Amino acid sequence: DAKTTQPTSMDCAEGRAANLPCNHSTISGNEYVYWYRQIHSQGPQYIIHGLKNNETNEMASLIITEDRKSSTLILPHATLRDTAVYYCIVRVAKAGGTSYGKLTFGQGTILTVHP
């Protein structure tokens, strides 16, 4: 799975958009970009994933550049409860392979949302 690079920490004001960048310059054509977050030692929580198109769900939006070498997770209206460590992971999502379920976590970005 491709390596990712994220900033160590970021701050965001409550109610503003939080934009979390991720660099994955060695991503392969069959690798997806996944985002998870972990709130204060709880189990990681899935947020969103994408291949090459931008994606949106009830939690966030994912913007992937055209060359797929980087992406941005957007929390449109951050709240205090969004304070967490955010992990960007790229991996193959293919049934049958031995690694399809494995998630390789980096250090992530510590997002602090302040009042």
Partner 1 sequence: EAQVTQNPRYLITVTGKKLTVTCSQNMNHEYMSWYRQDPGLGLRQIYYSMNVEVTDKGDVPEGYKVSRKEKRNFPLILESPSPNQTSLYFCASSSRQGGDGNTEAFFGQGTRLTVV
Q: Footprint of partner 1 on this chain (CB under 8 A)? A: 32, 36, 41-46, 49, 51, 93-96, 98, 100-108
Min. distance of Cβ 14 from partner 1 in angstroms? 26
Rounded to whole angstroms, the Cα distance separating 114 from 103 reads 30
For partner 1, which is the closer residue by CB, 94 or 114?
94
The backbone region for 107, taken as left when phi is positive above 0, alpha when psi lies in -120 to 50, beta otherwise, is: alpha
CB of 20 to partner 1, least distance (A): 17
Task: State in angstroms the smallest separation of the CB of 77 from partner 1.
Answer: 23
CA 10 to CA 82: how far, in whole Å?
A: 12
